[in-house]
Structure formats: structure tokens, C-alpha cells
């Protein structure tokens, strides 16, 4: 997922599972700052050291969540594929200028674009291109 302005992505990401999927889906929200998930999701804050994120994400696989939303920054090639293994559906917040090859190599095939146009929210779902 990408968002303009950037804060829109951080604000809406925790709510995507309940907005787009059945409410019975078990979801987890993963972030690196102290931001709460939507009331319907579990929430976990990653350690301050990004080099530990991949191993932390791998431990979550045992819980068999239906969906994971990930709001992490930094070197995504060190944790992106681990995030995709946490659940069968994953929403990751990507910077608009990020290299899309990394997303493709991690197994992501679709990209959701969100943009605020005044008071209106525009969105599109497109095949991932790089």
C-alpha cells in the first residue's frame, strides 16, 4: 500500500482488515512505534533494532493469523518476506518512491494506492509494476 500524504497510510493501515475483509478474520498489526491497532486486531510493537524484525516476525507464524498489517520503515529487504509469512493476507505500507522489485521478490503482486484529494479519499488497486 502507498499513501499520499504519508500519514494517511499510517492512519488507515491498522483499519484495512476490518474495512476490506470479513470481521471474523483474525488480524495482527505490527509496527515500530507506539501506535494502537484497530480494536478488532491484535497489536505488537517491534524492537527498536530493525535487524531483529525478521526474527520477531517469524515467531508470529505459529499463531496462524488470517491477515497481518505491517507498518515498519527502513530496510524492507531484511523483513518483508518474513512479514508475508505471518498470514495468508498481508498489507504493508511502502514509501511511494521505494523500489518495487523488492516487493515483487517478497511475493507481493498488487498495490493499493490511497490519496486524499481535499476531503475525498481516492484509491486504486493495481498490479505491481517495477
21 burial via Cβ count (<10 Å: 0-12, 13-18, 19+): middle
pLDDT in tens, 41-98: 788 888 888 889 999 999 999 999 999 999 887 667 778 888 888 998 989 888 777 7
pTM of the model: 0.84
Q: Cβ distance 45 to 14 under 8 Å?
A: no
Domains of the chain in sequence order: 2-127 (3.40.50.300)
Torsion of CA 100, 11, 124, 97, to 10 degrees: -30
pLDDT in tens, 15-33: 899 888 988 899 999 988 7
Amino acid at each position: 500500500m502507498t499513501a499520499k500524504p504519508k500519514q494517511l497510510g499510517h492512519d488507515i493501515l491498522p483499519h484495512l482488515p476490518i474495512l476490506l475483509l470479513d470481521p471474523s478474520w483474525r488480524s495482527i498489526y505490527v509496527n515500530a512505534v507506539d501506535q494502537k491497532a484497530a480494536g478488532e486486531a491484535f497489536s505488537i510493537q517491534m524492537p527498536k533494532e530493525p535487524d531483529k524484525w525478521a526474527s520477531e516476525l517469524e515467531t508470529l507464524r505459529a499463531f496462524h493469523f488470517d491477515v497481518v498489517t505491517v507498518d515498519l520503515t527502513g530496510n524492507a529487504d531484511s523483513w518483508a518476506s518474513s512479514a508475508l509469512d505471518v498470514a495468508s493476507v498481508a498489507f504493508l505500507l511502502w514509501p511511494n518512491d521505494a523500489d518495487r522489485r523488492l516487493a515483487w521478490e517478497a511475493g507481493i503482486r498488487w498495490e493499493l494506492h490511497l490519496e486524499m484529494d481535499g476531503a475525498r479519499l481516492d484509491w486504486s488497486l493495481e498490479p505491481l509494476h517495477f
